[in-house]
A and B are shown apart, each in its own frame.
Chain A
């Protein structure tokens, strides 16, 4: 914890904290961190719906939400309350337990994956060595919510949506995994904090340049994994109404909505962390900015910090909406072709190229000296 926070806490609290048992302080700090990250993620979800509607509105020469609150800023909360007060209807022929648990199964992995993501150089809930694998495992588990929702509602449209989504996610997961193998080779560690540290030292050290094809593959596969346009055949309003969540209403639907946006934010953050240096500043290596690194409020701009991660995440969220406003929906067979026949070969070739780069010690491998 940095120095400036120490002054904010009263002395008697600090004294009591020092004498409290170790397991208690550990549990309390961990719970506090989890709560903090979850609340921030959920707030980000709320405002990214507003962001999305504003962005797409401006791209289509509309105003977007502008009625609730100043410039429509309270619109997300109006939506949330609307969904909370709606009736939840469980179809009579559905598999009740799975129907209820499916939205939770899709939301939990989307939130749990945040445990290993470093927000800046000291804030991370669990600094584990297999962080990258953990993220990969959890993003792959999220598909159960969609499949079970499709099956448990006992509706043909929902089942079709679930099937499409399952095939799509399994296909793109492989490309995503291979792209992360490339990141792992460049970072030399499975610890996400270490991967970010390795990219420190300015824009030229980010993995964006040496791993550019993998970055493109990872990002597009991420869009496909979250079932967003132009890969949203799982919802496909014009063909199968709303796909897997067609029978969900009220809070249950809100949970799916939350899961989708939490996943988008997660993918945006992960792309920023793996390829754009996470919380690192692009001006880090510049000697002329060196004295400004420790400035109280703007130091992060030159020295790196959480705001940079947030800016990068917001940029990728913008790209999500940009893609949605720009491209028509992919045809299903084209999605499969892109995943299996284009992305997987590209990643395999680039892993081989990376092997060559490591052998000749260029790019991120230059400093290590083999």
Chain B
């Protein structure tokens, strides 16, 4: 009972947060609403005793990805007027897409609801069950190849993104840190011995 109340409260807040992402005018506010939504999603996962997913969602998405998002959004000068001008022209397409997606979602949920025997709550796990441990035990044994292939694909994506954006610009001044560190006083200062000059 308490479980259900907590679930519906946080699901409701999460839903409002998601609406905020879509409807806020200011992109920074939209990003903050998304962060808020993520936090609520993490709480729902905690309710399902999936603490690993919940914490990793906060760690990776809130702690890293959304920070970079915010970084970019703050730098961008978003022209609200220009966005509004195109609105009427693209509205039919947008509404059509939204309807298709809503239809699909409802379809899936409805079909699943028909087939699966839905419980009113999450099944409690046995005492001493650790979601993190269970996940690790499967990930590094049964699915180790899929896991490592995914890792290699991600590494490839990192390298590809860097090589695509890193361009040698002509005239770019680059520091050679090793050279800078190896500098001694002798390289920079020359002590000149001079005789004291006579008074004029």
Which of B28, B59, B175 contacts A136, CB < 8 Å? Answer: B59
Residues on A with beta carbons closer than 8 Å to the beta carbon of B130: 129-130
> Taking each of B32, B67, B74, B132, which has the highest tally of chain A beta carbons within 10 Å of its own beta carbon?
B67
A163 cross-chain contacts in B, Cβ below 8 A: 71, 74-75
Given the interface contacts A136-B59, A151-B28, A163-B74, does A144 sit within 8 Å of B52 by beta carbon?
Answer: no
Number of B residues near A (Cβ < 8 Å) is: 26
Complex Cα spacing A136 to B57, Å:
12
Contact A166 B67 (CB under 8 A): yes
Q: Which residues of the other chain, A, contact B59 by a CB distance below 8 angstroms?
A: 133, 136-137, 140
Interface string of B42-64 (1 = CB under 8 A from A): 00000000011001101100111
Q: Is B18 an interface residue (CB 8 A)?
A: no
CB B120 to nearest CB in A, in angstroms, measures 21
Q: Is A134 an interface residue (CB 8 A)?
A: yes
Known: A130-B52, A140-B59, A140-B63. A167 touches B71 (CB 8 A): yes
Which residues between 112 and 160 of chain A lie within 8 Å of chain B, taking CB atoms? 128-130, 133-134, 136-138, 140-141, 143-144, 147-148, 151, 159
Question: Most chain-B Cβ atoms within 10 A of its Cβ — which of A95, A167, A169, A170?
Answer: A170
Nearest CB on B from A193, distance (A): 14
Bound-state Cα–Cα, A141 to B62, Å: 7
The answer for the CA separation of A163 and B177 in the assembled complex, in Å, is: 24
Cβ of B68 within 8 Å of any chain A Cβ, yes or no, is yes
B35 at the interface (CB under 8 A from A): yes
Contact B68 A170 (CB under 8 A): yes
Contact of B64 with A170 in the complex, beta carbons under 8 Å: yes
| Given A98-B32, A163-B71: A137 and B63 interface contact (C-beta under 8 Å) | yes
A interface size (C-beta, 8 A): 29
Asked if A337 is at the interface (CB within 8 A of a chain B CB), the reply is yes
Question: Using an 8 Å CB-CB cutoff, how does the interface string of A44-81 with B read, 1 for contact, 0 for none?
Answer: 00000000000000000000000000000000000000
Which A-chain residue is minimally distant from B26 (CB atoms)?
A95
Q: How far is the CA of A333 from the CA of B56 in the complex (A)?
A: 30
Beta-carbon contact of A143 and B132 below 8 Å? no
Q: How far is the CA of A128 from the CA of B52 in the complex (A)?
A: 11
Q: Which residues on A sit within 8 Å (CB–CB) of B64?
A: 140, 170, 173
Measured between beta carbons, the chain B residues less than 8 angstroms from A280 are: none
In the assembled complex, B13 has its CB within 8 A of some CB on chain A: no
Set of chain B residues within 8 Å of A144, measured between Cβ atoms: 35, 67, 70
Choose one: B26, B55, B68, B70; the contact of A133 (CB below 8 Å). Answer: B55
A-B contact pairs, 29 of them (CB 8 A): A95-B26, A95-B28, A98-B32, A128-B51, A129-B130, A129-B132, A129-B133, A130-B52, A130-B55, A130-B131, A133-B55, A133-B56, A134-B55, A137-B55, A137-B56, A138-B58, A140-B59, A141-B63, A143-B67, A144-B35, A147-B67, A163-B74, A163-B75, A166-B70, A166-B71, A167-B71, A170-B68, A173-B64, A337-B177
Closest 4 CB pairs of A and B: A140-B63, A137-B59, A137-B58, A133-B55
